[in-house]
Structure 1
Amino acid sequence: MSSSSSRSRSPFARNPDDGPRATFGQLLPYLFEHKGPLTAALVLGVFGAAASLAQPLLVSQVIQFVERSQPLGWLVWALVALVIVSALISGYQHYLLQRMGEGVVLSSRRRLIARMLHLPIAQFDARRTGDLVSRVGSDTTLLRAVLTQGLVEAIGGSVTFLGALIAMLIIDPVLLGLTAAVIAASIVVVGALAGRIRVASARTQKKVGDLTAALERAIGSVRTIRASGATDREIETVQTEAVGAWRMGVNVAKVSALVVPVAGVAMQASFLVVLGVGGFRVANGSITIASLVAFILFLFMMIMPLGQAFGAISATNQALGALGRIHEIVSLDAETDSDADIAASVPEPGVASPSAPAIAFQGVSFSYPDAVARAHRESDGADHTDVTPDQSPGAVLRDVNFDVERGKRTALVGPSGAGKSTILGLIERFYDTTSGSIRLGGVDIRTLSRDDVRSRIGYVEQDAPVLAGSIRDNLLLASPDATDADCVEVLHSVNLGDVLGRNPQGLDAPVGEDGIMLSGGERQRLAIARSILAAPPILLLDESTSSLDGVNEQKMRTAIDAVAADRTLIVIAHRLSTVVDSDRIVVLDQGRVIGTGTHSELVQEVPLYRDLAKHQLLV
């Protein structure tokens, strides 16, 4: 693009990076969820409009009575009563709209949270956590503005506008024509600005998401950042995102600022036209002073809802920008949405057989989606993200075949990037295979629900997270009905009994954000205890002893040996001592199985395994 074309391009012109745009029709379901308060607010708006429209008529009558020296009597009291009624209606309507606005925010958040936490793992791998959090917090809040900043009030005000328009037409069509010309010009200007507000608002919310993601990254790694002397650089990075969000917010302010004076100019111009032309028409006897006063009052009543409408246009377009980001997530398929299609494409599932292997990989190949592969390649050292030069982007496993016998321990070993963690993720159905099949007791797992598969399997991740809360909260995550005695017993089984003694709160002792009040080994053992407490028949351990010292590793091995007696274990091994006792060892390299057997067999037959065993680099 040339420099001249770059300069001529509007900063508010839409481009593909602005994200999806929501329509007003997508906003309506959020409003219709609150039909009762919405209807009440609209009815109150009609009554309030009627009370307001009656006031100029009574003022006109008062002026005429004064001109004729007639007693005012009931007119004054009626006027006072109308003012009080209008105020009460306005106050209660404001309360209804505020409450309804909070209801819209709540319902949108609940819908977004429910969808977000059911998204496929691929979506979390490809997106930044901070941006997702921003959609729940910041974007949903903007929906409140649709109600609290004029939309429903503008709908109710349309009754006032129409009533004032009819009354002004009856009083003096000439003055109404001049007034309508000024108002029509202002409406054209506001309509032209509406699209710019929506684009600018969408960009602002995207920048707020970027800021939240940058801040979440900095806070989550604050110890590493401090230890690396990178605090000032991280501050600069986050502040750069903050400045970007500020600039986008200023762009919104610039466009919105044009809307406000348009309404003011329209009102002032209309008022001056009515005063000038109306004064002339009073002088020549075309209308009376009382009629001119009534016309001016109706003019104010017509301009006020017009201002509300202008504000509603601005607020609604900002909300639609945010709603586009909300619907981008809500419209994504949930993890289970594709299950029916997958199951239909899979051959006859068969019947679980006691003689079949607990788990069988049959010709399994797998490639990560492009977006996930790109995100993974940016993460250094993650086992399941490395891609060899001869693989297509995201390809991790190729024609993998092996069986896991019931009640046996199988170890997966190989260099970083071999695909070990990916295998565990496929067993858990975080992803589905690109080709081939994984069978659970002889049944293709794609014909089983994810809940069914995961209820039979315990999974301890490589960096198993500890949830903020108490020790009990973490243990009960997969076993909500476990007793305190069960919790204490399982903690002792993984050598965590001393953690209970450190704090008088016992099981209610807090573990801190991300388990920061526990050591790395204690966090890993707590995660293992959590899985053991659920008593699944199959247990997947990804580098389960990597954070343990020699003493605790031995105790952990003893605990694992105890639970392995009646369970099927698949272990990704970090140390040779964890591997040698396995019933079967599967050696992987560049996404392929290059050998299976016992430790003694593989040392003789597989050079790679022999080299890994020699250096104890089974990672």
Structure 2
Amino acid sequence: MIRRIIRENGRDYVKTYVFAAFCLVLVAASTAFMAWIMEAVINEAFAKKNADMIWLICGSVLAAFVIRGAASYGQAVALAQVGNNLVARYQQRLLDHLMSLGVSYFGDTRSAQIAAQISQNVAGIRDVMNLTITSFARDLLTLIALLVVMVTKDPILSIIVFIGAPPVLIALRYISKRLRSATRESIDLNSRVLSAMQETVQGITIVKAFTMEEQISARTADLIKAAEGRSNRIARLTERTSPLTETVAGLAISGVIAYAAFRSIYGDVLPGAFFSFITALLLAYDPARRLARLQINLERAVVNARMIYEILDEKPTQGDRPGAGELAVDKGEIEFRDIGFGYGKGEIVLDAVSFTAEAGKTTAIVGPSGAGKSTLISLVPRFYDPASGQVLIDGVDIATVTKKSLRHRIAYVSQQAWLFEGSIRDNLRYARPDATDAEIEDAARLANAHEFILAQPQGYDTLLGENGVNLSGGQRQRISIARALVRNAPVLLLDEATSALDNESEAAVQSALERAMKNRTVLVIAHRLSTIAKADRIVVMQAGRVVEIGNHADLSAAKGGLYARLQAFSEMAQPETSSAAEAEAEGSKP
């Protein structure tokens, strides 16, 4: 994993890393110099009382600290900039990759889980790179330089210190292996906690409406408790190195002091070399401790990075075929030819569906819930690919053209009106970035949205809350319809486009849609049959099959047919709706 990260990113930052490494070398050299010069400080200034050397020694010490400070600043800023750029680069890379994946991936993976996993782990890439550079360019070089000082000042004392290294390394290797699985479990649990919180916030109205607060709190508490337990286990494993390294360091330093003290007392040896050695030993303790914990810290960073690459390595399931061409729509005729589809193995959602939506006309698809209407319409923009059969536009199999060119020629209005961060104008312009303000406002007028948009605090420049929460459901849907009209595509797909509208808004939008449908091929799904009575052709589906095809008059006259039964149910419900509307109007009179 470390090799992969360096291979993918190292070349882009080589100049910055070389500069940071140079600064770290200066830090290491100046640190070693401070230990080396201690012998001269003790012997010349205190033992021999050589006044001439004091100014040279003091100037050297000052220069070493200035160099060390400047080098520390340079490497810290350089590595921070690289680290921040790495995080930004992988965030963009993840977003781009997620948008390249098929709709089926998001059907199998919870969106809150994806968001939590990304926010938890994206910094792992930065940590791997920075830990690798700082450990080798700063800590390892500093340690080596200080060890050279120690060996040159007193080889025997150095041997005493080295005796304690093997037990520490063996213990750290054992701890790092156990830490790997604990870190993975902790990240998974924390992601689930963040996911649960995000879903609760998004569905807060349902939580309160069904008084789910205690249930949600109890369920999330179990996750939080488990995450806390894993975090405590990681803390215990990670911090086990502290008593071990401190004990070994204490034994080494106390042994060095004892040996040097007896030698100075009974051997009449100047203390300068000892002070230089002990300074180098104390300065070497921090880089040695960081290097000792390097494998543990890298384990945690690599686990984070690996979970990011699990998303990046997810293969798009609907890539364009080699040599796929651009779709050119002339008339806009859509043909479903013997379509079969199922979301899972053995599941049949669509079974041998065949019919043609004539160019420039409106084809309505009706049927009871679960008949496969929305699934069928989702095959046109290739949200999914059929398991068998073909979808053709003007005789061209849409599987043989690029998805981008296909979707550019389709305008789509879903059951849920999804709006995005930004202003109302921004959301409308997503459909066609080069659309003028006049074209955007014309589309809003057609969707019966212009007046209520102007009534907003900043009109078209009003910023929307999360998914347009500051608008009503009907207003959000009308903006969604206006966005589809801005697209100005030859094919228009309406999946329950008026489902969120009240009767008055539905009538206005339906009238606008009838104008917008002219000279376009329209596929429309509707439960309320009154909204599709004027359709040129009606396809009736049941249990994934086409059972009737005709116009409203012919299908209504077919006694015992499914459409006639659906119409009867619709007419039975209509008086109730009308009565309720009349009662509401009556109650509002003064």
Answer yes or no: same fold by TM over 0.5. Answer: yes
Deviation at 1:183, TM superposition (A): 1.8
Aligned 1:468-617 pairs, distance under 5 A: 468-603=421-556, 604=558, 607-616=561-570
User: Given residue 210 of structure 1, which amino acid in structure 2 is its aligned partner?
Assistant: R
Other-structure match for 1:68 = 48
User: Given residue 321 of structure 2, which amino acid in structure 1 is its aligned partner?
Assistant: A
Deviation at 1:430, TM superposition (A): 1.0
Q: Is the CA contact 2:36–2:149 (under 8 Å) kept in the aligned structure 1?
A: no
Deviation at 1:287, TM superposition (A): 6.5
Aligned 1:132-147 pairs, distance under 5 A: 132-146=114-128
Deviation at 1:81, TM superposition (A): 2.2
Cα separation, 2, equivalents of 1:550 and 1:527: 18
Question: Structure 1 residues 617, 526: closer, same or farther in 2, change over 3 A?
Answer: farther
Cα separation, 2, equivalents of 1:182 and 1:427: 70
Q: Is the CA contact 1:44–1:89 (under 8 Å) kept in the aligned structure 2?
A: yes
User: Given residue 513 of structure 1, which amino acid in structure 2 is its aligned partner?
Assistant: E
Consecutive unaligned residues in structure 1, runs of 5 or more: 1-22, 371-391
Question: Structure 1 residues 565, 297: closer, same or farther in 2, change over 3 A?
Answer: same
Q: Is the CA contact 2:411–2:487 (under 8 Å) kept in the aligned structure 1?
A: yes
User: Given residue 2 of structure 2, which amino acid in structure 1 is its aligned partner?
Assistant: F
Deviation at 1:595, TM superposition (A): 2.1
User: Given residue 416 of structure 1, which amino acid in structure 2 is its aligned partner?
Assistant: S
Other-structure match for 2:68 = 86
Question: Structure 1 residues 416, 76: closer, same or farther in 2, change over 3 A?
Answer: same
User: Out of 106, 119, 144, which is 2:88 matched to?
Assistant: 106
Q: Is the CA contact 1:351–1:442 (under 8 Å) kept in the aligned structure 2?
A: no
Please state if 1:339 is matched with 2:320. Answer: yes
Please state if 1:39 is matched with 2:18. Answer: yes
Deviation at 1:446, TM superposition (A): 0.8
Secondary structure of the 1:34 match is: helix
Cα separation, 2, equivalents of 1:596 and 1:176: 93
Deviation at 1:525, TM superposition (A): 1.6
Deviation at 1:224, TM superposition (A): 1.7
Cα separation, 2, equivalents of 1:590 and 1:525: 31
Deviation at 1:48, TM superposition (A): 1.8
Question: Structure 1 residues 62, 462: closer, same or farther in 2, change over 3 A?
Answer: same
Cα separation, 1, equivalents of 2:22 and 2:89: 23
Deviation at 1:335, TM superposition (A): 6.0
User: Out of 162, 165, 169, which is 1:187 matched to?
Assistant: 169
Q: Is the CA contact 1:469–1:511 (under 8 Å) kept in the aligned structure 2?
A: yes
User: Out of 356, 362, 369, which is 1:403 matched to?
Assistant: 356
CA RMSD of aligned residues (A): 2.7
User: Given residue 422 of structure 2, which amino acid in structure 1 is its aligned partner?
Assistant: G
Secondary structure of the 2:122 match is: helix
Consecutive unaligned residues in structure 2, runs of 5 or more: 574-590
User: Given residue 553 of structure 2, which amino acid in structure 1 is its aligned partner?
Assistant: S
Aligned 1:25-424 pairs, distance under 5 A: 25-28=3-6, 29-65=8-44, 66-71=46-51, 72-73=53-54, 74-146=56-128, 152-283=134-265, 285=267, 288-334=270-316, 338-340=319-321, 358-369=333-344, 392-393=346-347, 395-424=348-377
Other-structure match for 2:586 = none
Cα separation, 2, equivalents of 1:287 and 1:402: 103
**Higher mean C-alpha deviation, range 530-539 or range 499-508:** 499-508
Cα separation, 1, equivalents of 2:132 and 2:405: 49
| Alpha-carbon displacement from aligned partner over 1:260-289 (angstroms, at most 9, x marks no partner) | 333333322221222223334445649753
Cα separation, 1, equivalents of 2:364 and 2:231: 54
Deviation at 1:147, TM superposition (A): 6.0
Secondary structure of the 2:309 match is: helix
Question: Structure 1 residues 77, 351: closer, same or farther in 2, change over 3 A?
Answer: closer
Cα separation, 1, equivalents of 2:330 and 2:463: 43
Secondary structure of the 1:427 match is: coil
Cα separation, 1, equivalents of 2:239 and 2:263: 36
Other-structure match for 1:452 = 405
User: Given residue 320 of structure 2, which amino acid in structure 1 is its aligned partner?
Assistant: D
Cα separation, 2, equivalents of 1:35 and 1:600: 73
Deviation at 1:558, TM superposition (A): 1.3
Deviation at 1:567, TM superposition (A): 0.5
Cα separation, 2, equivalents of 1:179 and 1:617: 93
User: Given residue 359 of structure 1, which amino acid in structure 2 is its aligned partner?
Assistant: I
Question: Structure 1 residues 504, 75: closer, same or farther in 2, change over 3 A?
Answer: closer
Cα separation, 1, equivalents of 2:229 and 2:281: 38
User: Given residue 58 of structure 1, which amino acid in structure 2 is its aligned partner?
Assistant: I
Q: Give percent identity, aligned residues only.
A: 28
Q: Is the CA contact 1:366–1:397 (under 8 Å) kept in the aligned structure 2?
A: yes
How many residue pairs match? The answer is 568
Secondary structure of the 1:411 match is: strand
Secondary structure of the 1:616 match is: helix
Q: Is the CA contact 2:127–2:301 (under 8 Å) kept in the aligned structure 1?
A: yes
Cα separation, 1, equivalents of 2:60 and 2:478: 78
| Alpha-carbon displacement from aligned partner over 1:558-614 (angstroms, at most 9, x marks no partner) | 111111211011000121112322111112122122222222333417732222121
Cα separation, 1, equivalents of 2:335 and 2:98: 31
Question: Structure 1 residues 172, 599: closer, same or farther in 2, change over 3 A?
Answer: same
Question: Structure 1 residues 282, 534: closer, same or farther in 2, change over 3 A?
Answer: same
Deviation at 1:27, TM superposition (A): 3.0
Q: Is the CA contact 2:21–2:133 (under 8 Å) kept in the aligned structure 1?
A: no
Cα separation, 2, equivalents of 1:416 and 1:617: 18
Cα separation, 1, equivalents of 2:287 and 2:223: 38
Cα separation, 2, equivalents of 1:286 and 1:130: 72
